[in-house]
């Protein structure tokens, strides 16, 4: 399972932004028709095939205040942590993960016009398993996917830690965590990375 696309209709200071995260897929959201086109890149070549722990690298570059950290919040906190992420009614966004074959994990707030045969509340966050309908250019709802969302590990460096960030102490807590960039406790950082790499939960080094 890997993140391939994010559409931000409105989130904090970000508006109408599409972000492709993986070169294997070409994803484009069309706002006028409320459809999304997902196409596999026939010319895709994995530059990191010799490294089982790396599939792709993307870099977010921008001036201070443009919303880089807000993007990381949106990706890293997990849509299931609604009390932590605390999206407002006006926040509209989607994160799309390729799961397997033609199945995708969709997590978001609003944007339900892209999902067929659902019973999702338009004012609540959701995380679902859906099948992509190429003819409709939309997703067909299959089932909730809340439990499996925690399979994804996420590391972020912050200038400061706050209530939405934590540093787990046990191997089985490796889900989402943050390190303070100005922190001098390098031993703790190295020990934690070691625990991740040797954990049964995370079978690949990061």
- DSSP characters over 153-192: -EEEEESS--TT-----SGGG-SEEEEETT---HHHHHHH
**Is the same domain home to 142 and 175?**
no
In-domain check, residue 205: no
What's the domain range around 41?
2-149
| Confidence band of 8 (pLDDT split at 50, 70, 90) | very high
Domain end among 149, 166, 189: 149
| Residues 128 and 26 placed together within one structural domain of the fold | yes
73 and 57, same domain (yes or no): yes
Tell me, yes or no, whether 145 and 43 share the same domain: yes
* pLDDT confidence of residue 206: 41
The 10s digit of each residue's pLDDT in 152-205 is 555 555 555 444 444 444 434 444 555 555 555 555 555 555 555 555 444 444
Digit-coded pLDDT (tens) for 70-126: 888 787 655 444 434 455 667 889 999 999 999 999 988 888 889 998 888 877 788
DSSP assignment string, the chain: -EEEEEEEEEETTEEEEEEE--TTEEEEEETTTTEEEEEE-TT---TTTT-TT-S--------TTSSHHHHHHHHHS-TT-HHHH---TT-EEEEEEEEETTEEEEEEES-GGGEES----TTSEEEEEEEEETTTTEEEEEEE-TGGGGG--EEEEESS--TT-----SGGG-SEEEEETT---HHHHHHHHHHHHT-SS--S--
Mean pLDDT lowest among 20-29, 44-53, 84-93? 84-93
Whether residue 178 is found in the same domain as residue 86: no
Same domain for 159 and 58, yes or no, is: no
Rg (CA), the chain: 18
Least confident of 10-14, 111-115, 143-147: 143-147
Rounded to an integer, what distance in angstroms lies between the CA atom of residue 114 and that of residue 40? Answer: 19
- Return the higher-pLDDT residue of 57 and 194: 57
């Amino acid at each position: 399972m890997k993140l391939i696309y994010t559409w931000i209709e409105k989130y904090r200071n970000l508006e109408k932004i599409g972000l492709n995260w993986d070169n294997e897929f070409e994803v484009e959201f069309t706002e006028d028709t409320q459809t999304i086109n997902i196409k596999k890149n026939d010319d895709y070549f994995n530059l990191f095939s010799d490294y089982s722990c790396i599939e792709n690298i993307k870099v977010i570059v921008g001036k201070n205040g443009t919303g880089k950290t807000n993007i990381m919040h949106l990706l890293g906190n997990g849509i299931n942590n609604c009390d932590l992420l605390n999206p407002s009614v006006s926040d509209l966004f989607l994160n799309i993960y390729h799961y397997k074959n033609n199945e995708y994990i969709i997590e978001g707030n609003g944007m339900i016009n892209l999902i067929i045969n659902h019973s999702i509340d338009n004012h609540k966050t959701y995380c679902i398993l859906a099948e992509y309908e190429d003819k409709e250019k939309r997703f067909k709802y299959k089932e909730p996917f809340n439990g499996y969302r925690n399979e994804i590990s996420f590391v972020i460096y912050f200038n400061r830690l706050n209530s939405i960030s934590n540093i787990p102490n046990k191997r089985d807590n490796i889900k989402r965590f943050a390190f303070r960039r100005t922190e001098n406790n390098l031993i703790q950082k190295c020990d934690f990375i070691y625990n991740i790499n040797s954990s049964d939960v995370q079978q690949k080094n990061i």
